[in-house]
């Protein structure tokens, strides 16, 4: 039960905040787009992305990607680095530097991992700059070019602001990015054992090939007993092998944007 009073968030406030987030996310799917048309002759590509900061994503996840000739994009919140959570331990500064130097992309969440739907323009600017400063302090060559909405909740109000600060922003609406896409609401499909299986992964790949599109996967940890938000090494390996069978390049979000001319 939630406690009432000035120092506590009430149950109604939590419900209202969640409702606002869902409404803003739905509006963001349809309004204030940053449209970009994929080239007609576009070769299908796939990007593997990992959110927050699980150490297993930097370890097992990155190793599997590299074994298959690919690199991933890691959307990180500075406040979570090196910190324990209910489901994993956060990756270390050293792990981030290793990822960066191996050619993986370090990308941006909000520093505090607050939802963009709960932030006004000033607060969002502060979150972005604080996150950028954190990663610059780790390695001055790390630049955060791309953003992912924490919790997958986009803000229709923050989309124009994010478009000025980043090349793209990724959500968690499943599907393939094809035709005219919204660079500030990139679709991404779950690489999460609780939400999909090998057959589901194959369907995403087949759709990407049929539509000449850009397939993005999102996940968190990579472990034999994953959290409700992560996947097993076997599921990740299957997805990587599925890309190989279809001759689909495995590229970071930054590289994918370069290839589509965005």
List, for residues 109-168, the tens digit of each pLDDT value: 999 999 999 999 999 999 999 999 999 999 999 999 999 999 998 888 899 999 999 999
Q: Is the pLDDT of residue 31 over 60?
A: no
Task: Look at the block and give the residue holding tokens 């576009």.
Answer: 42
- pLDDT, position 30: 55
What is the rounded distance in angstroms from the CA atom of residue 134 to the CA atom of residue 118?
22
> CB-side exposure of 128: number of CA atoms within 13 Å?
23
- pLDDT, position 22: 63
Question: What are 45's strand-pairing partners?
Answer: 214
Question: What are 169's strand-pairing partners?
Answer: 147
The per-residue pLDDT for range 229-261, each reduced to its tens digit, is 999 999 999 999 999 999 999 999 999 999 999
* Element containing residue 135 per DSSP (H, E): helix 121-138
Contacts 24+ apart (CB under 8 A), 117-125: 117/20, 117/21, 117/24, 117/25, 117/153, 117/154, 117/155, 117/158, 118/17, 118/20, 118/21, 119/155, 119/158, 121/157, 121/158, 121/161, 124/158, 124/161, 124/162, 125/161
What is the rounded distance in angstroms from the CA atom of residue 95 to the CA atom of residue 223?
17
What φ, ψ does residue 125 adopt, rounded to 5°?
-60, -40
Contact 243, 209 (CB under 8 A): no
Domains, the chain, ordered by start: 11-259 (3.20.20.370)
Q: Is the pLDDT of residue 10 over 90?
A: no
The three-state secondary structure class of 93 is helix
Q: Is the pLDDT of residue 11 over 60?
A: no
Question: What are 51's strand-pairing partners?
Answer: 75
- pLDDT, position 155: 87
Q: Is the pLDDT of residue 191 over 90?
A: yes
Question: What are 215's strand-pairing partners?
Answer: 46
Q: What is the rounded (10 degree) CA torsion for 118, 158, 82, 234? A: 110
Q: What is the rounded (10 degree) CA torsion for 251, 257, 258, 262? A: 170
Contact 95, 58 (CB under 8 A): yes
The per-residue pLDDT for range 79-115, each reduced to its tens digit, is 999 999 999 999 999 999 999 999 999 999 999 999 9
Mean residue pLDDT of the chain comes to 91
- pLDDT, position 42: 78
- The CA-CA-CA angle for residues 81, 22, 148, to 5°, reads 35
User: What percent of the chain is predicted at pLDDT more than 90?
Assistant: 83
6-20, 68-82, 132-146: the lowest-pLDDT one: 6-20
- pLDDT, position 3: 33
Q: What's 58's DSSP letter? A: I
Q: Is the pLDDT of residue 182 over 80?
A: yes
- What is the Rg, in whole angstroms, of the alpha carbon atoms belonging to the chain? 18
């Amino acid at each position: 039960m939630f406690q009432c009073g000035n120092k506590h968030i009430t149950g109604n406030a939590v419900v209202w905040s969640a409702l606002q987030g869902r409404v803003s996310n739905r509006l963001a799917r349809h309004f204030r787009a940053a449209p970009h048309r994929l080239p007609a002759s576009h070769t299908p590509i796939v990007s593997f992305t990992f959110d927050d900061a699980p150490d297993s994503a930097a370890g097992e996840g990155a190793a599997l990607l590299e074994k298959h000739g690919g690199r991933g994009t890691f959307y990180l919140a500075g406040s979570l680095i090196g910190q324990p959570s209910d489901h994993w331990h956060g990756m270390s500064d050293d792990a981030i530097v290793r990822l960066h130097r191996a050619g993986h992309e370090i990308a941006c969440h909000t520093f505090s991992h607050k939802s963009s739907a709960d932030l006004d323009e000033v607060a969002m600017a502060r979150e972005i700059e604080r996150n950028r400063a954190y990663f610059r302090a780790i390695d001055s060559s790390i630049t955060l070019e791309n953003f992912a909405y924490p919790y997958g909740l986009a803000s229709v109000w923050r989309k124009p602001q994010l478009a000025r600060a980043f090349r793209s922003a990724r959500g968690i609406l499943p599907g393939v990015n094809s035709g005219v896409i919204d660079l500030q609401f990139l679709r991404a499909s779950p690489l999460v054992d609780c939400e999909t299986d090998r057959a589901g992964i194959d369907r995403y790949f087949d759709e990407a090939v049929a539509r000449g599109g850009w397939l993005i996967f999102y996940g968190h940890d990579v472990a034999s007993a994953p959290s409700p938000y992560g996947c097993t090494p076997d599921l990740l390996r299957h997805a990587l092998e599925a890309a190989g069978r279809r001759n689909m390049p495995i590229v970071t979000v930054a590289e994918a944007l370069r290839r589509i001319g965005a």
